[in-house]
């Protein structure tokens, strides 16, 4: 039987994480240290299971992470669209493209194996633009929709849409390729997953590194996507 004091401390910790998303010892050392109490930890684990979240401690930070299937605490599609594109006049293809940009960025940073998941420390916005263009060029003129099923992405539609966009360096211009990348980067920065240096250099945060290395990434999913893209590249190269 758990004590009333332990339940109260567990609830206080859970509510803090629910509101703030993370907790460090500097913010509230007593609350941070309570996570090490076995009784409180067991109560927290019950909260996790019932509310479809994960609460993980990495070094000096405790993170609150909604599960992928958590429709209450996680982002629903319309909410994610609104977060990435605050102007509101967007369609599903805008969100699909944003998700592809996010996947491409994640692959650039974290496509390693085992304990060496992270493979680079930064990427220039222009290089990310070039990588996206190079990948999508393989599908821009394709009418084969099987790749959409294999990757669970509307990749042929995304590719065709990408090449209708103006290719301008100025990310402030509305609906250019750089504008879409900038919108996604702004969202990730707000979620404390990246920092942007000199408006052009994308650097993953400690939070992104920890989540990617310990919890966040579905490597089989990323490998499947990359496999399809690589097979398509080899096919195009052999036909050239």
pLDDT in tens, 179-201: 999 999 999 998 888 999 998 89
| Section 217-228 average pLDDT | 54
Task: Tell me the residue ranges of DSSP E strands in the chain.
Answer: 22-24, 53-58, 61-66, 123-124, 194-197, 201-204
pTM, whole model, 2 decimals? 0.71
Average pLDDT over all residues of the chain: 80
Task: Tell me whether residue 75 is exposed, middle or buried, using C-beta atoms within 10 angstroms of its C-beta: 0 to 12, 13 to 18, 19 or more.
Answer: middle
Per cent of the chain over pLDDT 90 is: 28
Per-domain residue ranges for the chain? Answer: 4-66, 77-239
In angstroms, the CA 130 to CA 178 distance is 11
Has residue 216 got a pLDDT over 60? no
CATH, domain range 4-66: 1.10.10
Task: Tell me whether residue 13 is exposed, middle or buried, using C-beta atoms within 10 angstroms of its C-beta: 0 to 12, 13 to 18, 19 or more.
Answer: buried
What pLDDT score does 72 carry?
A: 42
| Residue 238's pLDDT band (cuts 50, 70, 90) | low
Higher pLDDT, residue 98 or 69: 98
Has residue 223 got a pLDDT over 80? no
The string of pLDDT tens digits covering residues 46-77 is 888 887 778 888 878 898 877 655 444 446 67
């Amino acid at each position: 039987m758990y004590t009333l004091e332990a339940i109260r401390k567990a609830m206080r910790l859970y509510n803090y994480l629910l509101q703030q998303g993370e907790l460090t010892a500097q913010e509230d050392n007593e609350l941070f240290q309570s996570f090490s109490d076995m009784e409180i930890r067991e109560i927290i684990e019950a909260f996790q299971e019932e509310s479809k979240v994960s609460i993980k401690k990495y070094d000096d930070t405790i993170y609150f992470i909604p599960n992928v299937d958590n429709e209450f605490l996680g982002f629903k599609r319309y909410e994610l669209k609104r977060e990435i594109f605050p102007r509101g006049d967007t369609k599903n293809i805008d969100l699909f493209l944003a998700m592809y940009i996010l996947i491409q960025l994640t692959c650039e940073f974290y496509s390693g194996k085992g304990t060496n998941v992270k493979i680079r420390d930064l990427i220039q916005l222009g290089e990310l633009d070039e990588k996206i263009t190079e990948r999508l060029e393989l599908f821009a003129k394709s009418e084969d929709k099987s790749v959409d099923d294999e990757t669970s992405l509307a990749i042929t539609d995304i590719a065709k849409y990408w090449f209708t966009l103006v290719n301008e360096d100025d990310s402030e211009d509305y609906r250019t390729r750089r504008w879409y990348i900038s919108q996604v980067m702004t969202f990730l920065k707000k979620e404390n997953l990246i920092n942007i240096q000199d408006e052009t250099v994308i650097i993953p945060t400690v939070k992104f590194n920890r989540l990617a290395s310990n919890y966040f990434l579905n490597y089989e999913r990323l490998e499947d996507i990359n496999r399809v893209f690589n097979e398509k590249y080899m096919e195009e190269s052999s036909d050239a």
